[in-house]
Amino acid sequence: MFQGHDPALVALSVAIAILGGYTGFGLAARIRGTPDASHRLLLAGAAGFLAVGIWTMHFVGMLAAPLPADAAYLVLPTIISFLICALVVGVSLFFVSVGEPSLVRVVASAVLLGVGIVSMHYVGMHALSGRFDMINDPVRVALAVAIAIGAAYGGLRIFIARQGGVRLAASAIAFGIAVSGMHYTAMSGMHLVECATPNHPDGLVASQQLVSLVVALLCFVIAAGFLLSLVPDRRHAAAVTEGSPQVAIEAATPPVRPTSLPLGGIGQPRAVPATRLPVEDAEGTRFIDAAEVRSIHADAHYTMVHDGTRERLCPWSISEAEAQLDPAQFIRVHRSYIVALPHVSVVRKEGEGAVIQLDGPSPHRIPVSRAKLAEVKARLGLARRGAGAG
């Protein structure tokens, strides 16, 4: 498959696909955790970086291939190949970012994205101009399509899961290798046959040297985007992952709750549970009733509030939410989750812990840690408090 290819450029093409995947899906993963006003910007950025990463990987791979010295690229098909890639990436991400993505929608989006990536590849190949004809092996074409669809499905699952950190890095590596595998699988089925006249006698062409300069610039853009994606989001720095030193300090010294004095002002102030939670949307910060809340989830730099229909960003950290909410209605069931007891519909044992299902138009499940299982059962009336504590 790589016979005659430049090993350094092959490695660079794989690295570009990985960095583009990490940056693009990292941006896409933030769409569900931001106000609606930012969705379009994040969607455009995610689609742009993914398209640039895939397209640049393709042309780095082309520069690595043993092409004839007089080979050049027709400008119009080259531009069209990028537009195809950007369009199908944007449409696919949009389909799975609106509402709750069903399996059918994800699969359909993956097929669209995979076929689009392959179309980008072969349109880009059609841009090759020189004294040769191009013949493609149908079996390798079908295999390339299958690999592209599989890579697209895996990438969209990354987006839906909003993974971060090591898991996102591992997923981006798998995605980059899969996209590169699609390219080199297709290339292995391509054969050039010399002919007397150029296959594309007309049209504006760009030399391999000019394409190399454009690709080098795009490699710089991808690398810069990747480095910027590693910079923490200061806006959400307060909502750090549960278990970090900052959260440990917050848990030891919870924030001051809203207080009011008893009648007559006698005695110490007593805490009054918050009846509303702040959430962010396109118009700014609004408030929802605590009675509507099903769960609160600390997810990397975000705290997400689920109201039974969808998740929305909350500016509170999970420790602050635990301190502010009514302990008679809410319980911390996991280091990263708080649930509303009145909305628990199903409890099922799973491993050493359990899983809780919450009601609403879009029911969702929450894990219960082993350490919290006995308390949760007691609060739900399934066991006496302290049963099984030994």
Under 8 Å between Cβ of 16 and 175: no
Give pLDDT tens digits for 20-55: 888 877 777 666 555 455 667 777 887 888 888 888
Give pLDDT tens digits for 80-125: 988 888 888 888 877 776 666 677 888 888 888 888 888 888 888 8
Residue 132 domain-assigned (yes or no): yes
Residue 259 domain-assigned (yes or no): no
Tokens of 155: 């990438």
pLDDT at 341 (0 to 100):
92
Which position has the token pair 């996209």?
179
Cα within 13 Å of Cα(40), Cβ side:
2
pLDDT at 216 (0 to 100):
83
How many angstroms separate the Cα of 68 from the Cα of each of 4, 71, 79?
Answer: 12, 5, 22
Residue 240 domain-assigned (yes or no): no
- In terms of domains, do 33 and 120 share one? yes
Under 8 Å between Cβ of 33 and 65: no
Q: What percent of the chain has pLDDT over 90?
A: 6
pLDDT at 268 (0 to 100):
43
Residue 390 domain-assigned (yes or no): no
Residue 352 domain-assigned (yes or no): yes
Q: Which of 197, 231, 265 is the last residue of a domain?
A: 231
- In terms of domains, do 161 and 302 share one? no
- In terms of domains, do 46 and 107 share one? yes
Segment 224-229 mean pLDDT: 75
pLDDT at 389 (0 to 100):
39
The pTM of the full predicted model, rounded to 2 decimals, is: 0.57
- In terms of domains, do 142 and 106 share one? yes
Label residue 343 by pLDDT band (50, 70, 90). Answer: very high
Residue 31 domain-assigned (yes or no): yes
To the nearest 10°, the Cα dihedral for 168, 362, 108, 90? Answer: -60
- In terms of domains, do 107 and 250 share one? no
Under 8 Å between Cβ of 250 and 319: yes
Query: What is the rounded CA–CA span in Å between residue 73 and residue 81?
Result: 12
17-26, 197-206, 221-230, 350-359: least confident range: 197-206
pLDDT at 198 (0 to 100):
66
Label residue 232 by pLDDT band (50, 70, 90). Answer: low
Q: How high does pLDDT run on average in the chain? A: 77
- In terms of domains, do 224 and 250 share one? no
Under 8 Å between Cβ of 207 and 72: yes
64-68, 141-145, 182-186: least confident range: 64-68
Higher local confidence (pLDDT), 322 or 250? 322
Higher local confidence (pLDDT), 10 or 199? 10
Which residues, listed in sequence order, are joined to residue 286 by a DSSP beta bridge?
Answer: 279
Residue 153 domain-assigned (yes or no): yes
Label residue 19 by pLDDT band (50, 70, 90). Answer: confident
Under 8 Å between Cβ of 232 and 301: yes
Query: What is the rounded CA–CA span in Å between residue 231 and residue 227?
Result: 7
Query: What is the rounded CA–CA span in Å between residue 318 and residue 304?
Result: 9
Q: Which of 231, 265, 298 is the last residue of a domain?
A: 231
Tokens of 246: 């900052």
- In terms of domains, do 82 and 213 share one? yes
- In terms of domains, do 219 and 313 share one? no
* Structural domain containing residue 321: 246-254+274-379
Q: Which of 231, 262, 292 is the last residue of a domain?
A: 231
Query: What is the rounded CA–CA span in Å between residue 179 and residue 89?
Result: 13
- In terms of domains, do 169 and 94 share one? yes
Closest CA to 149 of 181, 190, 122, 189: 181
CATH of the domain at 344: 2.40.50.1020
Query: What is the rounded CA–CA span in Å between residue 107 and residue 96?
Result: 10
Q: What are phi and psi of 388, to 5 degrees?
A: 75, 10
Work out how many domains the chain is built from and give that number: 2
pLDDT at 251 (0 to 100):
41
- In terms of domains, do 72 and 202 share one? yes
Instruction: Indicate whether 163 pLDDT > 60.
Output: no
Give pLDDT tens digits for 184-208: 888 888 887 887 776 665 667 777 7
- In terms of domains, do 321 and 358 share one? yes
Segment 136-160 mean pLDDT: 82
- In terms of domains, do 191 and 291 share one? no
pLDDT at 390 (0 to 100):
38
Closest CA to 242 of 318, 313, 168: 318
Instruction: Indicate whether 14 pLDDT > 50.
Output: yes
Instruction: Indicate whether 338 pLDDT > 90.
Output: yes
Residue 386 domain-assigned (yes or no): no
Instruction: Indicate whether 3 pLDDT > 80.
Output: no
Give pLDDT tens digits for 239-298: 444 444 444 434 444 444 444 434 344 444 445 788 888 888 767 788 889 999 999 988
pLDDT at 388 (0 to 100):
43
| Three-class SS of the chain | CCCCCCHHHHHHHHHHHHHHHHHHHHHHHCHHHCCHHHHHHHHHHHHHHHHHHHHHHHHHHHHHCCCCCCCEEEHHHHHHHHHHHHHHHHHHHHHHHCCCCCHHHHHHHHHHHHHHHHHHHHHHHHCEECCEEEEECHHHHHHHHHHHHHHHHHHHHHHHHCCCHHHHHHHHHHHHHHHHHHHHHHHHCEEEEECCCCCCCCCCEEEHHHHHHHHHHHHHHHHHHHHHHCCCCHHHCCCCCCCCHHHHHHHHCCCCCCEECCHHHCCCCEECCCCEEEEEECCEEEEEEHHHCCEEEEECCEEEEECCCCEEEECCCHHHHHHHCCCCCEEEEECCEEEEHHHEEEEEEECCEEEEEECCCCCEEEEECHHHHHHHHHHCCCCCCCCCCC
CA dihedral sign of residues 121, 123, 127, 133:
positive
